[in-house]
Amino acid sequence: MNEFKIGHISEFPERRGRVILFGEIELAMFKLSDGTVRAVENRCPHKNGKLSEGIVCDHHVYCPLHDWKIDLHDGLVQAPDDGCVETYPVLVDDNGNVILQVSGANSKVS
């Protein structure tokens, strides 16, 4: 598993999306109200809405296009809608650094 330092926890506003480019993949990262950070691909499976622009409530993000509710823990779209987005493990180390974990990646984070 490769680890990439994305920034410091203080740079992530609570319940707001932050876009990270990882090679050709665009990720949406969110700091939840409990202080954890989650990363998901930045597109709703319905109509490719930018999840980074969605509203965060608890551990869900609502797609800004059609209000689909997506769980930030596992990427599952909540019923009655159907679908899933890719999730990526994130750690916050003892110094407050936000670390994105990606398996088998040789890409650059920007």
Domains of the chain with bracketed CATH = 2-102 (2.102.10.10)
Residue 78 carries which DSSP code? P
| Tens digit of each residue's pLDDT (9 = 90 or more) over 28-55 | 999 999 999 999 999 999 999 999 999 9
Cα-based torsion angle of the residue sequence 74, 50, 21, 86 in order, rounded to the nearest 10 degrees: 20
Q: Peptide bond preceding 80: is omega within 30 degrees of 0, i.e. cis?
A: yes
Q: With a cut of 50, list the residues of the chain below it in pLDDT.
A: 106
Sign of the Cα torsion 13, 33, 108, 87 reads negative
R_g over Cα of the chain = 13
pTM, rounded to two decimals: 0.86
